[in-house]
Structure 1
Amino acid sequence: MADIDRRIAALVSWSRTKDKSKRTKAARDTFLARFEREVDPEGVLPPEQRRERAEAAKRAYMLRLAKRSAQARKKND
């Protein structure tokens, strides 16, 4: 399948998706689990505290990505 055909198929699929949040939940949970393992590798923290720390680690990760993106755009100007 050509790249354009895959893109079309993906857009058609998303256009037919009633609950986008439900469709992406497994991926979001897996992504957050990465940060939970990062902040609590031994799994000793209470779940609420582990989740809170993981969310903070995820926000820091996203800010680092945004910073690198801004630096790359500035470099290309």
Structure 2
Amino acid sequence: MAKFSQKDIYFKDNDMAVFGTDHDSAMFWDGTDDELCITTTVSGVDPIADYHLATKYYVDSQVTTSGDSAGYFDAYDGSGGT
């Protein structure tokens, strides 16, 4: 697993960070679509800070239906916000 400390990573067109052997997983910048691409599944854990990624399971478990027939959802923020 890659770990970056104390530095930022900057990608230009055609730049790629490769993880594993034989390009098992990679991150690269697609300048055509102006987006960061990742060639493997990204997984995570329950977030504990605002900037953490959240798993689909975590988000689904935090969302409840509001009882509205249109299917709107209410989310609960345990920090006291909404």
Specify if TM > 0.5: no
TM range (shorter): under 0.3
Q: Which has the higher helix share?
A: 1
Q: Which structure is richer in relative contact order (CA contacts within 8 A, separation 6 or more)?
A: 1
Q: Which has the higher strand share?
A: 2
State the TM-score, normalizing by the size of structure 1: 0.25
